[in-house]
Structure 1
Amino acid sequence: MDALAALLDQPRARGAFLLRSILTPPWSVRIEDRAPLSLVTMVRGHAWIVPDGGEPARIEPGDVALLRGPDRYTLADEPGRPVRVVVHPDQRCTSPQGRDLAEAMRLGIRTWGEEDGDVVMLSGTYQVDSELSRRLLRLLPPVLTRATEAADAPLVELLGRHLGRDEPGQELILDRLLDLLLMSVLRSWLSGAGAPAAGWYHAQHDPVVGPAIRLLHARPSYPWTVVNLASKVGVSRAALSRRFTALLGEGPMTYLTNWRLDLAADLLREDETTVAAVARQVGYGSAFALSTAFKRVRGVSPREHRLGAETSGQSARSSLCGSGW
């Protein structure tokens, strides 16, 4: 699997917040939910995205915006509009004065705002970040806007159509539609002229480091050393270490440790997976060895990490602004 495919394979919505907002200008919504990643697209009308400390960006029908958390931002019909609604970290919506707006703005299943509004906006929020998607989040700018390609327009239509349904399996369908739309935008961006020019994504194209990264990604449980990795790539140990550090700012074994722990952190979210089983999958000889490395690098034990993920997941299933979600 190449680095782009590996990157796109990671975003997996699990009960993501999805919402249709129907609004009438003037309107302004302040987003303070600190979600790791959000996606916004317009069905009708336009919106301005105003990140704190950043330049406003306008999106029209057919545009998709990705917003990297946990930074705060405002969505409005025009920059500078007074804020009318604040979305908080627990997905509680209030007025700027703190009055709860859940029931006041509910229009139906996953629909929120005002009847017969001129603006229709779809938004999806990844509330629980996969540990592997941290690599994606580090690549993204705070706000990324792209025009949807013709082949992807049906995804927006399908997403909007399914938001109002309340049928068995609906959550899974919405999650996968959100994933498909996100991956389409990312692929377009990463394959284009605006792709990031530094870091591990750039290093995948290097004739020495690129093959080494692919080997580490493909076989994280293998007992890699700088010597056997360099042999597989066809260069000397010194050459591999020098080139790896120059492009990535860390040596091959440090990169491997971080990759293994990223994998472990993601696997620990799965039900019924033991620390010992995860350790074997990512190249540690025992649960103790994995726990020691995990604690040293991340500051928490695998058990503490798992409990934190479970707590975040329960919070993420709260109702968003009374939307019926």
Structure 2
Amino acid sequence: MDALAGLLDGPRARGAFLLRSVLDPPWSLRIQDRAPLTLVQVERSEAWIVPDEGEPRRLRPGDIAVLRGPDPYTIADDPATEPQIVIHPGELSTTLDGRELCDDMDLGVRTWGDSPDGSAVLISGTYQLDGEVSRRLLAALPQVLVLPAEAWSSPLPALLAEEIGRDEPGQEVMLDRLLDLLLIAVLRAWFSRPEVGAPAWYRAQGDPVVGRALKLLDGDPARPWTVALLAAETGVSRAALARRFTELVGEPPMAYLTGRRLSLAADLLCEPEATVGSVARRVGYGSAFALSTAFKRERGVSPQAHREGVRAGAAATAGRG
């Protein structure tokens, strides 16, 4: 597994919030749902993403935006249009003064808006829980990224647009997996663009020494790696590897490995039968205590607390459904 594959192996939507919005201008939605990650694709007309900090970003038909939470933002027909609707946590939409709009604007299966023939059509998919997207992936992304329609080619946007309005057995799981696939495809295309300023570890993959070291660490994070062992595998001295790795990736090899192990552990802890001890062994820690110590030091909570938080969020999401 290479570094990008390891990063993109994380998204796991579970009952994701997917919605087709059909709107007539002037329209403006204030998004403050605190979701960790949202994907928006424009089917018809245009839209503007207006972050609280930074420049507005224009979306044309076929463009896709990925927005990193939990900071609020506005999406509108024009940057100057004042918000009319607020999207809150729990899939709740209201007017600015708090009147609920979910029923008033319901247009059918996963469709919402002013009228069925509105001039603007957007499709959004929202990862609602922190455990569905790894912290390492979120750290690699800007608050707003836009992939123009002409920058890539994929059948996935059209497939999601086709499937979002269906109400068939297993449809929720189908849409979850489609959202995962679309997000992965968009990010892979975006990371490959030289002008986007991809993370240092991504650019470092092209280096013959550091790229090899990254593949080894990402491919087998549970191995009892040391700088000496990694240097021997890459054919350079310990000092040369440590210096070059830190220069290109931005952190030493063992610090990178710790982050990789803990991100993997955070995902594995969400599996139903996982224990802290079993996860520790799978990611390269000698005991549950060793994993717990490292996890709490880096993330501020114990593995058990992390797992309970993810499960509580999943239960709340299921209850809303």
**Shared fold per TM-score greater than 0.5:** yes
How many angstroms apart in 1 are the aligned matches of 2:266 and 2:237? Answer: 32
Matched residue, 1:291: 292
How many angstroms apart in 1 are the aligned matches of 2:204 and 2:70? Answer: 27
Q: Partner amino acid for 1:93?
A: S
* Cα distance, 1:9 vs structure 2: 2.7
* Cα distance, 1:317 vs structure 2: 4.2
Q: Partner amino acid for 2:21?
A: S
Matched residue, 1:187: 188
Q: Partner amino acid for 2:224?
A: P
Matched residue, 1:93: 93
How many angstroms apart in 2 are the aligned matches of 1:291 and 1:53? Answer: 36
Q: Partner amino acid for 1:140?
A: L
Kept in 2, the 8 Å contact 1:131–1:265? The answer is no
How many angstroms apart in 1 are the aligned matches of 2:137 and 2:266? Answer: 15
Matched residue, 2:165: 164
**In the alignment, does 2:125 pair up with 1:124?**
yes
Kept in 1, the 8 Å contact 2:40–2:123? The answer is yes
Kept in 2, the 8 Å contact 1:45–1:118? The answer is yes
Kept in 2, the 8 Å contact 1:16–1:125? The answer is yes
How many angstroms apart in 2 are the aligned matches of 1:132 and 1:231? Answer: 34
**In the alignment, does 2:44 pair up with 1:39?**
no
How many angstroms apart in 2 are the aligned matches of 1:316 and 1:200? Answer: 34
* Cα distance, 1:147 vs structure 2: 2.5
Greater CA drift, 166-175 or 241-250? 241-250
Kept in 2, the 8 Å contact 1:148–1:185? The answer is no
Identical counterparts, % of pairs: 61
* Cα distance, 1:2 vs structure 2: 2.1
How many angstroms apart in 2 are the aligned matches of 1:264 and 1:234? Answer: 30
How many angstroms apart in 2 are the aligned matches of 1:198 and 1:169? Answer: 37
TM-score (norm 2): 0.93
Q: Partner amino acid for 1:73?
A: Y
How many angstroms apart in 2 are the aligned matches of 1:53 and 1:282? Answer: 37
How many angstroms apart in 2 are the aligned matches of 1:4 and 1:16? Answer: 23
* Cα distance, 1:221 vs structure 2: 1.3
Matched residue, 1:322: none
Q: Any stretches of 5+ residues in structure 1 without a counterpart?
A: 320-324
* Cα distance, 1:79 vs structure 2: 1.3
* Cα distance, 1:318 vs structure 2: 6.1
Q: Deviations over 1:63-116 (max 9, x none)?
A: 111112122111111112121110112332111111122211112121111222
**In the alignment, does 2:96 pair up with 1:77?**
no
Q: In angstroms, what is the RMSD of aligned CA positions?
A: 1.9
Kept in 1, the 8 Å contact 2:35–2:127? The answer is yes
How many angstroms apart in 1 are the aligned matches of 2:297 and 2:6? Answer: 26
What pairs up with 1:275-314 in 2 under 5 angstroms? 275-314=276-315
Q: Deviations over 1:291-323 (max 9, x none)?
A: 12222222211111101111222344465xxxx
SS state at 1:5 partner? helix
Q: Any stretches of 5+ residues in structure 2 without a counterpart?
A: none
How many angstroms apart in 2 are the aligned matches of 1:236 and 1:75? Answer: 52
